[in-house]
Structure 1
């Protein structure tokens, strides 16, 4: 045996080999549940994409599987942003209503006189 490293005759020298079976992207089902809890209209699309990750990967559509996985994650994040924005809007409107109520004498809790 010579001191030269063993090489694969099918592989060009100087290049790394690409694995035959790429790693399956995550389903991101947790993000689909987040979309269900925080903004349910987006959950329909999120769960549809989550259920398509494995079948697309099994059919050999690696790019489609990654797109579906990324889409589930993005829809979950969008639903969190929408829920946060709606919560912020409710807090602002509540503060405005409280200020208006106090400005109009709504804080007078004394006994009422009968006329």
Structure 2
């Protein structure tokens, strides 16, 4: 519930620049996030156990996974552009080139 106004605010901020409505959207989303976190700390069985983030191994592994996902998404975004704009490949050849190769581990009878 709190991510929607924040995302909307940042997308509109990037498209149209700052305005009062956009800033209100971002602040409202941040306020809803604070309310969510405070409520989760007080619940007996929370949706998100925030005490897990105090465990260093949990937080570091989660951060590493997040950075890995950003890296993979960045590569998947930039690699097709490189192949098309720099190397001159067609979208069809690029699509077939990005498909996984068939397995060659067949047994002969």
TM-score range, shorter chain: 0.3 to 0.5
Q: Which has the higher helix share?
A: 2
Relative contact order (C-alpha < 8 Å, sep 6+): which is higher? Answer: 1
TM-score by length of 2: 0.33
Give the TM-score normalised by the residue count of structure 1: 0.32
